[in-house]
Structures are given as structure tokens and as C-alpha cells.
Amino acid sequence: MLTRYNTPIFIFIFLFFGLPRINAQIKGTIWDTNEIYKVPDYKTLSTDSAIGIVYQGLTYKGQPKNVFAYYSSPGTLTGDRSKDKNLPAVVLVHGGGGTAFKAWAILWAKKGYAAIAMDLRGNDAKKQHIAGGFDEPGSLTPYFTITPDLNEQWMYQAVGDAILAHNLIRSFKEVDSNRTALTGISWGGIISCALAGIDNRFKAVVPVYGCGYLFQSSAMRKDLDKLSPSDRATWIKQYDPSQYIGKAKMPVLFINGTNDGNFFLDSYAKTYKELKDKTLSIKIGLKHNHSYGWGNEEIYYFINSYLNGTAPLAKLDAIKVKKGAISSKFKAEIPIVQAYLNYTKDTTAVLKDRKWERMPVKITDNKVWLQTLPDGITIWYLSVIDKRGLQVSAELQWSVIN
């Protein structure tokens, strides 16, 4: 059972100096403070298939802040914690309007993982404000507020508290601290993109929907544009994932829908192009909410391949054109059963409003190909689906190749 964590001074010295530090990537960022390297104190509130805890977050308004979270593992599911040994672990970051989702933590525990899902809004699982938690004005998350005191900016607190959740779960004796991953939904995807370039202890990261370059093309741009020019520039410099994602050392899987109403494909493409070690899964018709987001099975199989050595997702190479024919080679340990050209002929200025279609393409000798593109295509990409039903995509193409 989890209990309140009180650290004697000699243990504190060991934890601070003996454990692997978050690494040099964090140096020079606004999170490079002494408290970010600590294993936070916590106390247990409830014991169930997922254990409710409150841990100590970053300093907020001059006091240590309280953060509610659920922790789940194979042992908490059965009530037999002796089953919990050498577990891989995952940190789960909710999106806008979300909370610490108990079901999400349990979903990963059922897959053999230790999982922590925290609330970054100052609430409990019922979305009720907790004592000592972050204060949301009018119960609305102040995503873009720039205040004179850095510690009162929500994005600063949210990223920091996710790092501290990572510190905490890595400290549990049943967790293999060298096998941890991160995934976030929507705004949690924004945070995950930033964290990929800040906390390189993660062995794999999966942002769902969320991306960087929010100031160029996204539903959030209108909120950014309401800021003063100075505050807008400050927010972008401090928090937009474009400032961090290119520093990521671990493999990253990007998942999004072609018509996502919040994260548009042009900013999305600029974000993933910052990385070499990336996998894409772009889906026509993918709906936007927490359960649809974490319901993409590609997330688990991608993370599991890096943490447990299971069969990875397929990989599509760069598009090649020869005498008008379009092709992409792929690598896949699990047989590919379907391949598609996904495309839109729409010229609607707002990318999320374009209508998409797909058509089967041929699979030959670890290559997908088609003889020619349909006339009038404006954006397109190739995708493959393996025997497990898992889909990966090649990079988006923004005009017809002649």
C-alpha cells in the first residue's frame, strides 16, 4: 500500500545526488530548479483497483501545491501487491477539461504497467477543487495566462507537475525506473510534445492530437492572439512545444485525425518534422476526446515495443517518385494486410473542414505503391495496416507530385 513518503536527510541526499538526474536538457529551461529534481512527498487517500493519492507539486503562491493522482498496477487490480515487480511504467497526461482518469490508469495496469494519471487543474477525480491545489478562475483552465510570478502560470505548473509525477512513479520499488513512457491527450499531447524535449528519461512518448506551432495554425491561435504582443511572445518562447520537441532523444509516435478541430495538419506536420525518430498514425475520421484518444491501440503497441521488446509498429520510408509512380518501402515484423492512399481534393482554406477519401494501393516486396495519383489532389499520404489492425502513415504530402 502506498503511504505518506517522509524522506530522512540521508535518503534525501541519496535521492538528490544518487539517482539519475533529469539530464542536461532541462538546464537552461524555466523548470531547472532544485524542486524539480526531488521525489515528491505524497499521501494515500483511497485504496482500490487504482489508488488515490495527493502528491506535492511545484511551489505555488508561496506554498507547496497539492496534486491529486491515481496510481494503478497489476497488483492494485488484484489486491496482491506481491505481483508487482520490475514493472514498466507510464505517465498519463489529460487534456483540456480532463482530470486524473481512474479508468485510464486501470487500462494500463491491465496491460502489465504501473501507471500514474494526475489532475493538473487542482481538482480531484470528480473535478472538485482540492485544498492546496491550483486555482482555476471560474473553473476555467488559464492555459495562456502570463503572470508576473512564473509560479502562478498554469503551463509552468502543469509541465513541472508531470515531471514530478515521473519522479514519483520511478521511485516506487516495483517500477523499473529505466522503462518509463509518456502519453497525453489533446492539451496533454501539447505537454507531452514539450516534455519529450525536456525530460529524456522517457523511453517513448506518444502525443495524441496535440502538437506545437500553436501560434501558426491551431484552434488555440485565437486565444494566443488575444494576449499582448509581449505576453504572446513570452508564452511561445516558454511553452510552445516547437521550442522543445526537436531536442527529444527518444522515439515519438504522433497520432492525429485528418480533420481534428483543434490541431491542424500544417502545424502538426511542422511539429513532427522536427524529429528524425518518429512514427506517424494519421487517421481519417478520428474523433477528438479522451476515450477516443487513448483508445488508439497503436499507443500501447508502440510503447510496449520500446519498454518490453515486443513487435514494433511498421515503418514507412520517405515517398519516392519514378516515372510518375508513387511508392514507399516499409519495415514490418507483423505482416501488412492493407495499404491506402489517403487524400483530399478539397481546397477549403480551413484544413479541418476538408473532405478526405482513401483508396487501396498495391503491396509488393515490402513496398506500397500506385501507378499515378488521382487528378486534383491537394494533400495526401500513404498508410498501412498490419495484421493486428494497427495503422501507421507516411509523412503528409502537400501537393501533387509531377
User: Where residue 110 sits, what CATH number does that domain have?
Assistant: 3.40.50.1820
Same domain, 212 and 347: no
Same domain, 216 and 331: no
Answer whether residue 363 is part of any domain.
Answer: yes
- E-assigned strands of 227-378? 252-257, 278-283, 315-316, 320-322, 325-331, 336-344, 357-360, 362-363, 367-370
Number of domains forming the structure of the chain: 2
- Using 50, 70 and 90 to split pLDDT, how confident is the model at 174? very high
Together in a domain, 289 and 328: no
Dihedral sign for Cα 170, 250, 32, 227, please: negative
CA distance 24 to 160: 16
Same domain, 321 and 184: no
* Distance between CA atoms of residues 16 and 253, nearest Å: 31
* Domain end (from 253, 282, 307): 307
Domain shared by 255 and 359, yes or no: no
What range does the domain containing 367 cover?
315-393
Express each pLDDT in 259-304 by its tens digit. 999 999 999 999 999 999 999 999 999 999 999 999 999 999 999 9
Q: What is the mean pLDDT of residues 233-249?
A: 97
Q: Looking at the domain assignment, is residue 372 inside a domain?
A: yes
Mean pLDDT of the chain: 92
Q: Based on the domain organization, do 192 and 284 belong to the same domain?
A: yes
Domain co-membership, 279 together with 329: no
Residue 25 — very low, low, confident or very high, per pLDDT cuts 50/70/90? low
- The answer to whether residue 3 is domain-embedded is no
Same domain, 157 and 292: yes
Whether residues 302 and 347 share a domain: the answer is no
pLDDT in tens, 248-271: 999 999 999 999 999 999 999 999
Dihedrals phi, psi of 401, to nearest 5 degrees: -85, 125
**145 shares a domain with 88:** yes
- The alpha carbons of the chain give a radius of gyration, in whole angstroms, of 22
